[in-house]
A and B are shown apart, each in its own frame.
Chain A
Amino acid sequence: KNQVEQSPQSLIILEGKNCTLQCNYTVSPFSNLRWYKQDTGRGPVSLTIMTFSENTKSNGRYTATLDADTKQSSLHITASQLSDSASYICVVSAEAAGNKLTFGGGTRVLVKP
């Protein structure tokens, strides 16, 4: 069964600090992995997409890494800002008809001043 597990479920960090979110998946065959940011009560917005051959991808203060061998990804937030308070969702696409997506449960990040 395809699964995506994210950790931690939630974390609190002080403004200006860094943090790293984890995503482990068992989706096979792997097509790509995305990180989405979802503000409370809003729809998710794509941050990064990574394919099998990519190890690192950055989007501003967000840097995603992918280890396709261990089936792990991480999202690193640098110099956090209050606006980073949101849920971050890892989504893995299976290389099959329709590119079926499997969503992780998300990590809720709260940045405190």
Chain B
Amino acid sequence: DGGITQSPKYLFRKEGQNVTLSCEQNLNHDAMYWYRQDPGQGLRLIYYSQIVNDFQKGDIAEGYSVSREKKESFPLTVTSAQKNPTAFYLCASGFGELFFGEGSRLTVL
């Protein structure tokens, strides 16, 4: 089935560690996005990529990094520079209509 796969579903991080969230899509979409969701707030854009080997910062890029080496993959690294990383992270792809993955919940211990 076509769709977006995020992994892991749950992730725990110790302070000072970098962690990488995986996002894979087989929808043949050029554009991919990473959003952060906090309780009671709208989704906030972290990074987006409209084509392979190119990506742009979103509204809250500080403390995060991405790569786009393949059309199907857009991994997000949460670095130790992100001071409040505990959140629900959503990957999406598409243009106009977005298709979302099932999300990854990151908790800092």
Contact surface of A with B, Cβ cutoff 8 Å:
4, 9, 32, 34, 41-46, 49, 89, 93, 98-99, 101-106
Q: How many whole Å from A47's CB to the nearest CB in chain B?
A: 11
Q: Is the CB of A4 within 8 A of B42?
A: yes
B100 in the interface (beta carbon within 8 A) = yes
Residues of B within 8 A of A104 (CB): 42
Beta-carbon contact of A93 and B96 below 8 Å: yes
Tell me the count of chain B residues lying within 8 A, CB to CB, of chain A: 24
In the bound complex, how far is the Cα of B97 from the Cα of A49, in angstroms?
Answer: 8
- In the complex formed, the residue of B with least CB distance to A3 is B42
Chain B interfacial positions (CB closer than 8 Å to A): 4, 6, 35, 40-45, 48, 50, 88, 90, 92, 95-103, 105
Chain B at the A interface: SS class: strand
Which residues of chain B have C-beta atoms less than 8 A from A101's C-beta? 45, 98
Task: Give the interface centre of B35, B41, B43, B95 by most chain A CB atoms within 10 Å.
Answer: B43
With A93-B96, A98-B50, A99-B96 given, is the CB distance from A41 to B103 under 8 Å?
Answer: yes
- Using CB atoms, name the residue of chain B closest to A43: B100
CA–CA, A102 to B4, complex, Å?
A: 21
Instruction: Kindly state the separation between the CA atoms of A43 and B100 in the bound complex, as whole angstroms.
Output: 5
